[in-house]
Every structure is written in structure tokens, then in C-alpha cells.
Chains A and B, each alone.
Chain A
Amino acid sequence: MTVDFSPFHQLDTPFAIIDKEYTYIEISKQWQQQFKLKKTFKGKKFFECLPELPEEFQIDVSYCLEGISSRSDTKRIVTSCGNSVWYQWKISTLGGHEVNNYLFITLEDVTDKKLEEDLLYKTQEVAKIGSWRMDLKSNTIFWSDMVKTIHEVPLDFKPDLEKAIFFYKAGWSREHITNLVSRAIASGTSWDTELIIVTENGKEKWVRAIGEPEMVNGSCIRLVGTFQDIDARKQTELELERSKNAFADSIKNSKVGMALVSPSGQFLEANESLCALWGYNKEELKKLTFQEITHQEDLEKDLALLNEVINGKRDTYQLEKRYFDKKGQIVYALLTVTAVRDQEGTIQQFISQVIGLNERIKNENKLKKLLDITTNQNESLLNFAYIVSHNLRSHASNLALVCGLVNNNKLSASQREEAMLHLEKASSSLNETIDHLNDVVQIKIGGEQHLEKVDLKKTISNTLKGISALIAENKVAVTLDYQGTPNISGKLIYVESIVLNLISNAIKYRNTAIPAKIAIRVQELNDAVLLEVEDNGLGIDMEANGRNLFGMYKTFHKHKDAKGIGLFITKNQVEAIGGKIVATSSVNQGSTFSVKFKKHQV
């Protein structure tokens, strides 16, 4: 049997027409395909040919058959196999009051559409995205519920352009959105921007606004767009940015020198403190490696520790080391190195912190020098005290001894005469000793603060002039040799005394058996001027007396003028102006006294 379809069969709507008996009168092609009906449907019962449908649909069909003119709804049914299916329907009676014997039914499976809508809705809900549009012809604005929620206005709020713009925060945000909207209307450009609004409740919020103009014949008829609440993300971003900036700022402004160093030692980045410490600018420093500016003696130690970090034996190390700054001056520093590794543990770079210690080292050295001076002074004071007591005591005891003898009548006339001579000698010796002590007390060890420029050459020639009679009388041959500057830093009276003492000692202790020779040499060294006075005289047994050579009241020759005070004073004067004196000597060969003076710095 063939079925004849009415012309409505081709309609693009799934519909069916049934009569009061639930018998199919007509269906569309759509309906047929949707419910997979055979062509032999005519005359069959309506529900027999359909799948499980929502109960509400069946009820609506029966209502309409009972006389209600139309029903429509969208409902879900969970089928016996557990599927959830959405149906949308519309039922109307056909033919007015008299002939309501037929029902016109559209029924559609809208599950896919419904799910899509749901998803969209949920997505918008979660993402807090709303939509809006503005019709320029009617000058009306539509906001979706989400847009209203974001603005914290009631859902029945009626926006207009002025109000919408006014929600943007006064200042940059409001100016910016005004410009964007004007430009979009004028030239059809879209926008996507992040701005701040102030909600109805006065709360500031970051939003992302996207707008798209719809252009017809070169003029804008409508703007559509989305509106998203991005406050939480933006706040996090801003917080991150702030802390990043704060971190970068703290490195940049840190008093501690900081640098990023490549695994090979190249400087990648450096802060201002570090540049200042080493005297290089950042660009110059980036061309250098730490190896190049490290003091050679400290390099090995540094590299050894660095290797331990590279080999994973340690994560960090600290080291006091020396660098050279741009001028080649030594910079003492405390270095802390930390490795930055990637996820595989490979070293990406090192963070170096460098604290300049020059001030500290300078102070330490100053302190050490002070301590040296104090120790030196203390030692010489102690030495001095014993020697003073010894020598003063020896004269005093002699006086006591002789006085004791003189008071006794048992002395012979000649003994008495001799005793009187000794008394006189003892008292004049006492006087002399006190004079020596006075000389010694005059020298202030470590009193280097008032040093002046002294021309050593001139001082020597003046001294030689002063003792020319003595030189001539003893037939001493004096040779002079000057190399470099003779200018030293000292005190003229000390230098005169030192030179005189050394030359007159050389004459005093000459070997009378041979012609006396004295060689005086002055030589400029790196930071010192060396004076040498060499003679061919009696010499001193250095093994036996070397350590006492510059001691007070130490004498080494049976010479009538040997007082044992000269070299003691000389040594103290040399040290008082920051110099050093040493001697080499051998018996009957002669002596050489070498004095290192501080060079006068221009």
C-alpha cells in the first residue's frame, strides 16, 4: 500500500496531526525521520509509534483533546535505559470550536541544544562573563543578568549609555572606555581591555570589556560585547607584580653587591652596589668573568668551592676573598654564592652576593698596627724600666759602696785618694746616665703623625761636613753612592742623629791596623729608601751578640767611648719614623748597617 502525503509533508518542522482516537492523520518528513516511522504509519495509534516521552506531554495531549486550545512545554524524561532526553513540544487544536477533533503537534528532541545552552550558561556563570549590546538607532542598551550581577545592580535595572559609562571608575578607566566606544562607532574598531568599575555598592572591581561594532554601509548600527569580572585574577596578578617589583627594587637598591653569574663565570647582571664596589659600569662588567677580576692567590680556593657546588656537594658557599677593581686596587670582600638549578638539577646560573670589606680590613689593619705599636712601646718601656733601674742602681750602689769605705778610718791615704776619685766618677756617671735616659724618653715610638720630607743626601753631606776634622784625623776614606730619590719621610733631628751615629760608629770602631774605609749608599726601592753604611772595621761577633746589638747599654768593644747607648737610640729613632734597621757584620771584616726609611710620597 502506498501512502499519499499532503504538501505539508515537506515542511521543515517535525509535526504530526492526529484525531480524537490518537490515530495519525498526517506527519512531516522531519517527524518521520526523527521517530524512524515506517511509511505504513497511517491508521496506527499515536503513542504506539513513539519512544518513551515525558509524562507531561501525554497529559498535555489529553488536555487538548478535551478542549484546551494549546499547550507547550520543554521537559526531560529519563528513559528506562537511563538516558536523559529533553523534548520540546507545542500542541494546538485544529479547526476552531466545531472541529476540534484534530490536534496539531510539534515535538522535538532538543537534548543537544539544551545541553549546549546549559554548558554555555554554566561557563558564563563560572567565568562571570555577561553579554551586552547597544542599539545605536534606538539608543537602547541590553545587559545580561551576569552583567547586572557584576555591576551589583538588581536584575530589573535598566541601563543606558550614560549610566553604563558612569560605572567606570573616574579618571583613566572612564576616559579610556569613552575613547574606545567613540572610536568603535566612528571607525569600526573593536576593543578588548581591562578596566576598573565602581559597582552600585561602591566596590572597585577589575573587568575585562570586549566590544565589537556592527557596521552597515560604513556606519555603526550596533555594538555587542562581553563583560567579565576578572577582579580575583587581576588582584593576584597585581600582587605578584608588586612583589616582583619589590624584590627587583630591593636587589637594585641593596647595599649588598649582587650579580647573576653564568656557569662559566661570566657576569650576566649586576646591581649598582656591586658596580660601585668594583668601579665598573654594568656593561663593562658583563664583558668580564669573575675569574678575571679575582686575586690570583684567592682564585684556587674560590674555584674549589664552586666545583663543590657544581658537583652537588653543597648548595652555597661563603668566602672572604680579594678582587681587583677597575683601577687595579685590591677590594676585600665577603662572597656568598648560591646556585640556581633547573628541574633536572643542572646549574642555570649563580647568584653572587658581595659585601665589600675594605673598610673593615682597613680598620683591622689600623687596629693591628696600633696593637703592634702598643706592644712595641710596652716592651720597650718594660725593657727601659729594668735597664734604667739597673744603671741608676749601679751608680747608686757604687756611691753607697765608696761612701761606706770613706767613712771608715781604716783606709790608707792612697786608698782614700783613690776612693775620692771614684766618688767623683760615680757621681758624674750618674749624671751622664740621666742625660741618656732623657734622650731615650724624647723618642716617641709610633709617633708617625708629623713626618716631614727629609733630603737624605743633604743630611749626609751636612753630617760629613760636621765631622770632617774627625775623618781627616783618622784618615778615613769615605765613598758616596746615590741612586734614585734621596727624599724620605721622617724627622730631620732623628735622621741627623741616625746618620751621625752610624758614621761616627764606623769611625770609632775602625780597625787601626788597616786604612779605614766607609761606603755610604742611598738607594730608592719600591716604597722605601735604603741607606747603607759599610765599614771595614773591627766588626761584631753576630752569633754571640746579634740579638743584643741594639739593646741599651750593650757594648761589644773595649773602647773608651763605648757607652752602649748609641745604637739603642738609633734603633728607636729609626722605628719612631716608621723605618727598620738591621746589621750584618763579621769580626775583623767590618759591619754594614742598613736602614730602610719610608719614601716621601709626593
Chain B
Amino acid sequence: MSISKFKTSCIIDDDPIHQFGLKILMDRANFSQEVLVFENGEEALNGLAKRLKEGEELPAVIFLDLNMPIKDGWGFLDGFVTIPNINTDKVTIYIVSSSINPADIEKAKTYEMVSNYIVKPLGIDQLEAIIESL
């Protein structure tokens, strides 16, 4: 087994199929040692804040879905920067959505911390490219 590129990564998506598939692909690509999974934006913000509070590292990469109940991807992005004591420099966020609405893609560009907008389905090639780029 080769060494994983990242220590921790994170999937924020309410779709169990996507969670399942992405985890398998990340495993194959040796993406990270640990994968955190949250079902929506609200859950993710709470989980990450708790982690920070307990002195644990934030995930280096976050795969963020847009369309989720309770709090969607945009809500997560707005809330993320307001987590106390957060250093967003060490976190790279990829939006992974099945939306091809140009308005969503344009809106994603307005968030500085969003590195790229990936249209589902996400493939192993894309994971490898991310490993290369970071």
C-alpha cells in the first residue's frame, strides 16, 4: 500500500450513493487516510467546528455538494469562514454537483476558497489531478 496524499479529507453530500462511490474511488487513488462524511451543510459546520475546538486538524480537501436539505452548499460556504479560530488557507474546497446551471457555476467563482467546480459524476482521473495539483 502506498502512502496517502492527504491525512484527512471530507465529503459533504446527502446522497448515499455518491458518498459510497466517492469513498471507493478515494480509496483507490490513495487520496487520504481519513474521510469525514457529513449529510448537509449544517452538520458539516457543526462537525468541523467541534473538531477545531478539540484541537484536531481540519481536512485538507472538502468535496461539497450544493443541493442539500437544512443547509445547502452555499450556506456551508457562508458559515465556514465564520467558524471561530479557523484558518481557511490550509483547506481546499471543490464543489461537486450535478447542477450544470451556469448561474451556479458563476456563483461558485465568487467564493475565493472554492478551487474548482466539478460536475458529477466525479471520476478517478479528477482525484489524481487534484493530488498532482496540491
Contacts and interface: CB of A to CB of B under 8 A. Distances in A.
A564 B68 CA distance: 10
B116 to A, nearest CB: 17
B17 A558 contact: no
A389 B120 contact: no
A394 interface: yes
B100 A394 contact: no
A426 B16 CA distance: 10
Given A397-B98, A398-B21, A425-B16, 4 more contacts: A401-B21, A401-B22, A422-B17, A558-B70
Contacts of A36: none
Nearest to B99: A390
Contacts of B21: 398, 401-402, 404-405, 422
11 contacts: A386-B100, A390-B97, A390-B98, A390-B99, A398-B120, A400-B121, A402-B17, A402-B20, A422-B16, A557-B70, A558-B70
Nearest to A393: B98
B47 interface: no
A343 B123 CA distance: 94
A386 B17 contact: no
B70 A397 contact: no
Interface of B: 15-18, 20-22, 24-25, 28, 39-40, 67, 69-71, 75, 97-101, 103, 120-123
A457 to B, nearest CB: 35
Chain B contact residues, majority secondary structure = loop
A437 B131 CA distance: 39
Nearest to A422: B17
A50 B119 CA distance: 142
A556 interface: yes
Chain A's interface size range is: 20 to 34
A283 interface: no
B67 A398 contact: no
A553 interface: yes
Nearest to A392: B98
A398 B69 contact: no
A399 to B, nearest CB: 9
Contacts of B100: 386, 389-390, 393
B27 to A, nearest CB: 9
A96 B39 CA distance: 164
Nearest to A557: B69
A221 interface: no
A410 interface: yes
A379 to B, nearest CB: 13
Interface stretch (A274-282, A411-419, A463-471): A411-419
A405 B124 CA distance: 10
A306 to B, nearest CB: 53
A472 interface: no
Contacts of A544: 71, 75
Contacts of B22: 401
